[in-house]
Amino acid sequence: MTKPGIPNDLVLSTSCYGPRLRSIEDQAFSAVAMGFRKIELGLSATPPELRGWADARRETGIEMSCLVVGSLKPKTPSMTGSMLGSLDADQREMALNSSRRHVQLAQSLGAPVVILRGCAVEDAKLEREAAKLIDDHSTTHVDDLDVVKERTRDFVHRLQARSQRQVEHFCRSVHTLRAEFPETFFAIAPGNDLDDLFGFEAVQWILDDLAAHKVGYWHDTARIHRRGKLGIPDQGAWLQAFSGRALGVHLRDATDSDFGLPPSLGEVDFKLVSEYLPKDCARVVDVDPTHGRPEVLASVQFLLGLGF
């Protein structure tokens, strides 16, 4: 537990702490002790107290690399992403106001990048169909999974076609944020669930629409691994398509049942990830808080060994 950290250029997400350390000041000092020079304000069921950041930054030289929209509220199992693309005008306005508060916080903390996550497409029928497909993937015999994967690909294609209005609303919302906060970079993170707005095609549409602005892509190794196992675009496809626009990546490992593992403990091909990512993008270690300091240090050593 007292093993010294390895000085590195990776970023540690505050999500890794959970309830163990309750202030950003304590988290910053802990991160520095593990060899990190940068942290991310991530999602947590117990968001840290933010007072003390200026003192920690002055005393340690640590920097805030990025911030995830939603980090001001406690994370819940049913927590969705940004509602900037909602079909409901009132929901969009509330999402804009929430995003504004997060951007203002990011600027006060010195974080240049704000990460926007997707949310479920607003269609109850598609939501039920997505849940059924997930259940089919877990209950179908391995010899018959190709049929389920084909149905999944068809579903995702139909879902993306149905979601175009929401994508248009999302792009207009981001245009608004960019006009109000021109110095901040925004990153689009892929969706986690089958009925998420930010699938492969939608992310392509969004990045194309916002190509002239400070809007980039944020990769998530565990989320994309999970999607790839369902028969839809996998790690290589996402990286080949979007790595040139990548502002950062959440580095966590995954299996069929767990996608919050420290890198090296699951099935993700991190060597592939390291070969695609631009040298200057943020590399954020973001693992479930049930894993402690020894696992974080081991994952750092593993990632450094791969060239991260």
Kindly state whether residue 140 falls inside one of the protein's structural domains.
no
- 214 assigned to some structural domain: yes
* pLDDT tens track for 202-254: 999 999 999 888 899 999 999 999 999 999 999 999 999 999 999 999 999 99
Tens of pLDDT along 267-286? 999 999 999 999 899 999 99
With contact defined as beta carbons under 8 Å apart, do 78 and 45 qualify? Answer: no
Amino acid 5: pLDDT: 79
pLDDT in tens, 95-113: 999 999 999 999 999 999 9
How many structural domains compose the chain? 1
d(CA 167, CA 149): 25
Distance CA 163, CA 236 (A): 24
Partners of 251 in beta bridges: 285
pTM across the whole model: 0.94
Residue 59 lies in a domain: yes
| Closest-CA residue to 95 (of 177, 165, 163) | 177
Residue 36 lies in a domain: yes
Mean of pLDDT values over 278-300 = 95
Angle between helix 145-162 and helix 200-209 axes, rounded to 10 deg: 30
CA-nearest of 164, 173, 226, 229 to 201 is 164
Q: What is the CA radius of gyration of the chain?
A: 19
Are the beta carbons of 54 and 236 closer than 8 angstroms? Answer: no
- Residue 131 domain-assigned (yes or no): no
Q: Which amino acid type is present at position 33?
A: A
> Which candidate, 38, 188, 28, places its Cα nearest to that of 99?
188
229 lies in which domain range? Answer: 11-120+165-305
Residues sharing a CB contact under 8 Å with residue 210, sequence separation 6 or more, in sequence order: 171, 174, 175, 178
Mean per-residue pLDDT, 4-26: 93
Confidence bin at 78 (pLDDT 50/70/90): low
Closest to 225 measured CA to CA, from 257, 247, 203, 201: 257
Element (H, E) at 65: strand 63-68
| pLDDT at position 83 | 87
Residue 185 CA to residue 113 CA, distance in Å, equals 5
Report the CATH number that the domain containing residue 289 is assigned in CATH: 3.20.20.150
CA–CA distance, 2 with 165 (Å, rounded to integer) = 53
pLDDT over 80 (residue 77):
no
Length of the chain: 308
User: Is 175 part of a structural domain of the chain?
Assistant: yes
HSE value, Cβ hemisphere, 13 Å, CA-based, for 157: 7
- 261 domain-assigned: yes
What is the DSSP secondary structure assignment for residue 191, as one 8-state letter?
A: P
Per-residue burial over 116-131, b = 16 or more CB atoms within 10 Å of its CB, e = otherwise: bbbbbbbbeebbebbe
* Residue 1: pLDDT over 60: no
Percentage of residues of the chain with pLDDT beyond 70: 97
Inside any domain, residue 40: yes
Contact 73, 42 (CB under 8 A): no
Instruction: Check residue 21 and give its pLDDT.
Output: 94
pLDDT for residue 2: 47
Query: pLDDT for 258-269, tens place per residue?
Result: 889 999 999 999
